Structure 1
Amino acid sequence: MQVTKQSLQRQILLWTVLPLLALWSAGAAVIYLASFQFANESNDAALMRLGRVIAQQISQSLQAAQSAPDKQQSLDPAVLTAQSRQLFAAVADENVHLAVQVGGELILGQPLRAFASEVSESAATIHEVHEVKVAQEPHRVLHIQQLASRNLPAIQIEIAKDTAAQSQAFQRYLLNMALPLVPMLLLVSVLVWFGVRHSLKPLRTLKLLVETRQAQDLSPLSLDNAPEELNALSSALNQLLASTEESMNRQRRFIADAAHQLRTPLAGLKSQTELAMRENSPEGLRDRLNMVHTSATRSIHLVNQLLTLARSEPGSLNGIPKVKMDLARLIRDLTGELVPRALAARIDLGCDCLVSEAWIEGNSALLRELFINLVENAIKYIPRDGSVTVRLTENEQQYLVDVEDNGAGIPDADKQRVFERFFRREQTGNGCGLGMAIVREIVERHSGKVELKDAVPHGLIVHVVLPKNLATV
């Protein structure tokens, strides 16, 4: 799989290797800082021990000088003991800067920072450590102040040591520590790359299966030993393929049935027209034209039903908006509009809305077609002097619409078949067998359901359930 800027493989590698690199870098920095701080503390402790030893040696030398007959030489460096001079020489060999002031008189070296003119009396001995730069080189400087006591003058000592060599040593230490991390990082990166590439192999296989598949091939995708996440993706794709295949099969059946159903009225229309053209008598011509009109009316009805069915197909509602509408008002208005047709067929049509307002989100044109089909079917197929009632009720989550008639009803064996396209229990009349199929499609597009029930003592109830997907206003 070619790696691009937006590739999943690159994103996984970046989110895996970069955090490791950041953690290793942070760990190396922490180790370096901790080691450097430890070195400074060790260096300061060494300077402190050296300063105490020097202060003790100077105090002993001054005490020896005080006990000498000539006390005027007490501040002279020559009066220091041989042990102190040897100590100074050892300090000089260690590249340590040393300055000593006794009783306000500088007796050894030159301080990097001027000694205090007066020694603080807050404590017998005061130690201060700070860092200064000498010739752009950092130095750790220790100041020791020792108060005067037993007729001995105050002592101030400054000890400084260059830290550049120490810093270089720890930089080398850090480099020596970081060098093994580089091949480790490379090794881990290679292992992660191989692991990610191996893990994404099923995804590349799925990509290859999809790319090499023919457009007409809607068989399920098969992946062996795929991870759980990819199995979920392949299952979703297989469901989509199955749904697409079902939709295509449905469309093929629809086209075949529609062609078959249209062929008959169109052929009859053509035949009647040809006969009318050869008819000489006005009465015969009028009869032929009536037959032509009947065939044309049936063809128009069939085409309108086919268009309504196509509009209610799955996926066809993407461009048809759903609006807030009052289902109770729609049912009352439709019932009123169909009363003249019911009276012409000597059918008693009534409306029983037990809900004053029933607000839902739906397509008003399709819902109108839904209830027109139900009421017209009831009017068409029940005997004269029958009755049809449209009833609207509700529960907590749904609106319930019943279209009840007192006709002969439908046997249980045919209750599901009437929803099939072009199924007609009776071949009489001008029906085309699409009315109930349209009802089912429209109800399903509105996330509802429809079923047929037996009325008491006889008759049929078409029970439609629509969800309350909009709060009542």
Structure 2
Amino acid sequence: MHEALHRVLHRLPGVTPGGSSLHRHLLLWLLLPQLVLWLAGAFFTYNLTARYANQAIDAALSTASRALARQVKPIGNGLFIDFPRAAQDIIEADPDDRVYYMVSTPPGQFILGNHRLPAPPPIDAPVLGQPYFYDGAMGEADAGLQVRVAALYLSYGEADTPQTMLVQVARSRASREQLARRILFDTALPLSVVIALMSMIVWAGIRAGLAPLARMRALVEGRAPNDLAPLELESAPREVHALAKAINTLLAEVHESVSGQRRFISDAAHQLRTPLAGLKSQTELALNEASEAAGPALRTRLQRVHESATRSAHLVNQLLTLARAEPESAAAQAKSRVDLRRLAGELTAEWVPRARQAGIDLGFEEDGTSPTPAVQGNALLLREAIANLIDNAIRYTGRGASVTVRVRSLGPDAQIEVEDDGPGIAPADRERVFERFARATLQGDGCGLGLAIVKEIAERHGGRVALEGAAPRGLRVLLRLPRLAA
């Protein structure tokens, strides 16, 4: 039941290995649009910057072309060029952002300047005195250099013989691109910082929004396998409340089903105790009254019936003990201070006759140096746990073996040890024997519930039970429970 809940809740917060992550899914849908918008913004910013840079450069080229045109003065049908060398040196002074110029008349016939300037696009009837702007590449020595060119058409000459003069001024596009990149960088850097901060805020918001799901998962993961109490998420959002309510409904149905099964087992065990006790008594009487004349076969059959009745009565008692150790039953029983040293000593003394009958040396070791190993718990259940450990040791160690019971304090815990020098349990079977009706050997007349009952009682008291090998041979069972402070 809890494994199914774990699988459901693992999918919700998005932590299932190999599964889709809700955190990742939300981040993807929230951050991807931001990234796309950032890229689109950068693209439009660059183009807008390039357009404004072109406008600035075009204005400068227009001014330069008109200034150059003023230096070329028409005289009759000729031209007077007043362009001193000093002015030419000033125009071409900057090697990183050079300005090129050319004057031709008719357009295309070189007169002055740099003849490698790209020709303007064909214009059928150019408007005189209005500059035209275009991009092109320089030729020959400066081949491949991209430039921005302003072309200005002017008229000169007599009225009866008009002529056209073309003035071109060009500037490298590198300055425009450098300006566009600088503006883009100055714009994109703060925008990137804003996007990063927004991403962090989004991530924190997602974590805060999904925190109730993580708390619900922690509530389920931290539970014992038999804890079917409803989940409590009073401060959770409405959507998580709906999920918690659905899970609580499922837990209530499972709790009702499990409780019905436990009531059935408990009622059946109670009903079977009386007839089994009667059957056991009747077989004992029949064995005592059967004469030798009745034959050994009849006595053998009666003995087997008696053994079966004894085993069945033992199984019924174990089932009743297991039912009392279940969480609901254990929670309803009163708890008090229990002195484990005194309880274990009394139980050992009670089991000595049974141990002698089985040919076992049963003893109890005192440890007077350690503090009193007292715990808070149900005395009846703890008594059943220790009795099951002693009973198991007597049943499976074999005649001639010895069993020792110890109680000691280990730090914050009290530990009960039942050690024997019998055949022990293989390491591979030491976890399996804590399962119900699991047995590590076919010898003995046990029913496979003793260690399961001990484990159930230990867990109900916040403790644990473990098996380890004893030297030179045998088995040591360790039952550790939280100790009460002195």
Give the shorter-chain TM-score range: 0.3 to 0.5
The structure whose Rg is larger is 1
TM-score by length of 1: 0.44
